Structure 1
Amino acid sequence: MARLTKKKKEALAKIEKGRIYSITEASALVKEISNAKFDASVDIAVRLGVDPRKANQMVRGVVSLPHGTGKDVKVLALVTPDKEAEAKEAGADYVGLDEYLDKIKSGWTDVDVIITMPSVMGKLGPLGRVLGPRGLMPNPKTGTVTMDIAKAVTEVKAGKIDFKVDKTGIVHAAIGKASFSADKIEGNANELLTTLMKLKPTASKGVYVKSIFMSSTMSPSIAVDPKIG
């Protein structure tokens, strides 16, 4: 068994064993137990009562966090020449088409989000094996395949994230940084949870939100009251 460090023991001591915290309490506590030497990410993990193996119980969506992610999101806009100026003005970090497709073929994936146009998707198909496992393949459902390139880039830069239930039935999402105020962490968490509630599949029976845990990078997790909405 791994030995607990002094900082880990101190963090665990601040979490009351067996207690279920409210979102408000957890948002404040996660800041107290974050002792990384860098600005740690604050993450939330929500276990859902769904069977993701069934198409009618898949939960996937997008949410615009009101206080952003705290992360400088690197955006690649794969667009035709007539859309390049629009993408650059909106703040895309990389803009172009064929030269970036060639770079991706060579293994380059140093971006967080790729935004493109419907007419370009055909060229991205062969790159699915590279982009898919990294969660970089654009998708109309998440707003990353669109003709309104400027809007898509602006939203992603401002804190729009997409999420998807994994094969174990859990949705993981980064909702901010430990340097955020507790109010901002709470606001982002509530926005994500409210969005999740709206996405409950009609085929999902019984308890929908089974458990919620909040944590920061390298910190213990805090059990949050799953009775929401």
Structure 2
Amino acid sequence: MTHFIDTQSTVFGVDNDPIYRHVLRMILLSAGYATELFDRPEPLLSRVSPVSRGCVVTALDLPGFDGLELFRAARDQEIMLPFIFVSGKASVQQAVTAMKLGAVDFLTKPVEPKTLLATVDRALLLDAQTTSERAAAEAARARWRSLSAREQDICRFVVKDWLNKQIALELGVSEAAVQRQRANALKKLGVRATFELIRLLERTGEGGGGRQP
């Protein structure tokens, strides 16, 4: 079976059971994943950051600081790595809570290697997709910030299907000025069609802007 391998990604594992950590390491390394394992949550939180890539496989039952608390602490630090929870004695309520928090999956020990690796693949693919989307959104925001305030206003009107004549009247400028600034704005943003502009503004969070005629 071919696994999703990204050279920038690491599978981070947390479990206080040294035997299980060893088994987990062997399974992950056999599939070619870069792996870092910890015996408690605190070192993991010190190791990762908002720009870390990969996923976390964590035991739910950890002394003093359980897996759900680890998940919440990571999110509080804006660490958005996908989480996979593993437990040998979790309650149904704990499993439901983990999934509601956004876990990729909740697995029961002993976990079949094939099941674990398939779940890790899903988590890494999710992280890659999320990272790509965040990068695209940040690039869109950077291009949007490069526009002047007037160019931004014109773009907001354009996505509302305003004509150049309407925009000129609203802004108190000539239609030729609107045409020129509209062309400059689209060039800076790297778009040609209105639907491309709409998509870009949605990525920046500006999709709902603009005044009504």
The answer, yes or no, to whether TM exceeds 0.5 is no
Q: Which has the higher contact order (CA 8 A, sep 6+)?
A: 1
TM-score normalized by structure 1? 0.33
More helix by share: 2
Return the index of the structure with the highest Cα Rg: 2
TM-score normalized by structure 2? 0.35
More strand by share: 1
